[in-house]
Amino acid sequence: MKHFLSVTDLTLDDLKKLLQRSAEFKKGAIPENFSDFFVTNVFLENSTRTHKSFEVAENKLNMKVISFDGPTSSLQKGETLSDTLLTLSAIGVDCAVVRTSEDRFYEELLKEKNLELSLINAGDGSGEHPSQCLLDLFTIYEEFGTFENLDIAIIGDLKHSRVARSNMYMLKRLGANLYFSGPEKWMTPEFLAYGTYLPIDELVEKMDVVMLLRVQHERHEFTKNFSKETYHEKFGLTKKRGEKLKPGAIIMHPAPVNRDVEIADSLVEAENSRIFTQMKNGMFCRMAILEEIAKGRVK
């Protein structure tokens, strides 16, 4: 595996291998020493969970982490992301973990013959978020031991969610039954090829997994469409709806959470919430991704 860019690139064997290695790391497996592997984190959008869990994962693998600060880089002088990454490749960086607002930023880059470094997609615009998908799959599998015939609802800001896209691609392949909900104006036709759209009140009592999505204020003018209170009442997992979840059902959210918008404050850390478990699992999954790429490069 030279790059980790889209879940659509993964075979089911690839996925099984990554999930198994993530589980081994969580159980305390000792990683290889990649002290000759140079990695940098090029985060051009704000991030806490993804950025810092990649950074912790890199350090646990004993990689050499090269700092990169977008606001003080040559990007501020007009340099393109493509040229920045070609520069990092030229000076000997082995891998760049990239988050950007540009959808599918890597397509043109991969046509460049001189790009020798590996790329990890840490979120591209409203495109995909493959490492989040991996940790979500790991969390679900850890809970249920299967994906086959699980009823999973993905609810919220579908139009702008890279998490929703990555998860729907892979969960459908794995045999889950997918349902979508949220404002109809944020529902695009692509989702209907993977599941069924229903109002949230028709879903909550039947689902094994209720996955809420963050309202992405930075990608649209949320307040012109809904107030926080109106959104929560119409489309959010309110306390009342949370009480209707069936026994054994779990709540998920990629975070950061807008409390009392997508989900009631009291449910974020409820017994059936796996939101902070997802965060913990994210570091182990990112270790697995980084290791798989590094093993193919370090001789």
- Per cent of the chain over pLDDT 90 is 81
Per-residue confidence at 226, pLDDT binned at 50, 70, 90? Answer: confident
pTM for the model stands at: 0.94
Give me the pLDDT at residue 148, please: 97
Region 33-43 average pLDDT: 96
Region 37-49 average pLDDT: 95
Tokens of 114: 């001189």
pLDDT in tens, 96-116: 999 999 999 998 888 866 789
**Separation in Å, CA 79 to CA 76, 229, 273, 275:** 7, 42, 43, 37
pLDDT in tens, 237-294: 999 999 999 999 999 999 999 999 999 999 999 999 999 999 999 999 999 999 999 9
Give me the pLDDT at residue 296, please: 81
Per-residue confidence at 160, pLDDT binned at 50, 70, 90? Answer: confident
Per-residue confidence at 297, pLDDT binned at 50, 70, 90? Answer: confident
Answer yes or no: is pLDDT of 176 > 80: yes
